[in-house]
Amino acid sequence: MGKATGFLDYERRNNTDIPPLQRILNFEEFHVPLDDSERRRQAGRCMDCGVPFCQSAMKLSGMVTGCPLHNLIPEWNDRIWRRHRGHAYARLRKTSNFPEFTGRVCPALCEKACMCGEYGDPVSIHDNELYLAEWAFSNGNVTPAVPRKRSGWKVAVVGSGPSGLAAADELNHRGHTVHVFEREDRIGGLLMYGIPNMKLDKSVIERRQRLMEAEGVVFHTGADIGDPEAAARLKEEYDAVVLCCGAKKPRPLPGADPDQTGGVHYAVDFLKSTTKSLLKTPDHSAEGLLRSGGFISARNKHVIVVGGGDTGNDCIGTVIRHGCRSVTALEMMPEPPVERAPSNPWPEWPKTKRTDYGHEEAIALYGADPRVYETTVKELVTGKNGRIRGVVTAKVRMENRRPVQIPGTEKTLKCDLLLIAAGFLGCEPPTAEAFGAELTERGVVRTGENSYQTGVKGVFSAGDMHRGQSLVVWAIREGRECAAEVDEYLMGYSV
Residues 6+ apart with CB under 8 A from 388: 261, 262, 263, 264, 380, 381, 382, 415, 416, 417, 418
Per residue in 5-60, pLDDT (tens digit) is 999 999 999 999 999 999 999 999 999 999 999 999 999 999 888 889 999 999 99
Q: Which domains does the chain have, with CATH numbers?
A: 6-138 (1.10.1060.10), 154-249+425-491 (3.50.50.60), 264-420 (3.50.50.60)
Does residue 89 have a pLDDT over 90?
Answer: yes
Closest listed residue to residue 169, CA positions, set 231, 214, 233, 235:
214
Q: In 3D, which of 246, 266, 250 has the Cα closest to residue 444?
A: 246
How many C-beta neighbours within 10 Å does residue 314 have?
26
pLDDT at position 1: 63
Q: Given pLDDT bands bounded at 50, 70 and 90, which one contains residue 352?
A: very high
The pLDDT tens digits for 412-447 are 999 999 999 999 999 999 999 999 999 999 999 999
Question: Does residue 222 or residue 293 have the better pLDDT?
Answer: 222
**3-17, 218-232, 282-296, 297-311: which has the minimum mean pLDDT?**
282-296
Looking at the chain, the whole-number percentage of residues with pLDDT higher than 70 is: 100
DSSP 349: P
* pLDDT value for 293: 82
- Say whether pLDDT at 495 is over 90: no
- Asked whether the predicted pLDDT for residue 398 surpasses 80, the reply is yes
Q: Answer for the pair 269, 283: CB distance below 8 angstroms, yes or no.
A: no
Instruction: Give the pairing of strands 388-399 and 411-414.
Output: antiparallel
- What is the per-residue pLDDT for 320? 98
Question: What's this model's pTM, rounded to 2 decimal places?
Answer: 0.96
Q: How far is it, in rounded angstroms, from Cα 312 to Cα 124?
A: 25
Buried b (16+ CB within 10 A) or exposed e, 449-461: eeebbbebebbbb
- Beta carbons of 40 and 13 less than 8 angstroms apart: no
Per-residue model confidence as pLDDT tens digits over 107-156: 999 999 999 999 999 999 999 999 999 999 999 999 999 999 999 999 99
CA 364 vs. chain centroid, Å, equals 25
Peptide bond into 350 cis (omega under 30): no
CB-neighbour burial class of residue 291 (10 A; exposed 0-12, middle 13-18, buried 19+): exposed
Which of the 8 DSSP states describes residue 445?
A: B
Please provide the average confidence, as pLDDT, over all residues in the chain: 96
C-alpha 457 chain-centroid distance: 30
Residue 196 has pLDDT above 80, yes or no: yes
| Residues comprising the chain, all counted | 495
What are the C-alpha distances in Å from 321 to residues 264, 274, 298, 362?
19, 10, 9, 10
Q: What is the pLDDT of residue 281?
A: 87
Judged against a pLDDT cut of 80, whether residue 103 lies above it is answered with yes
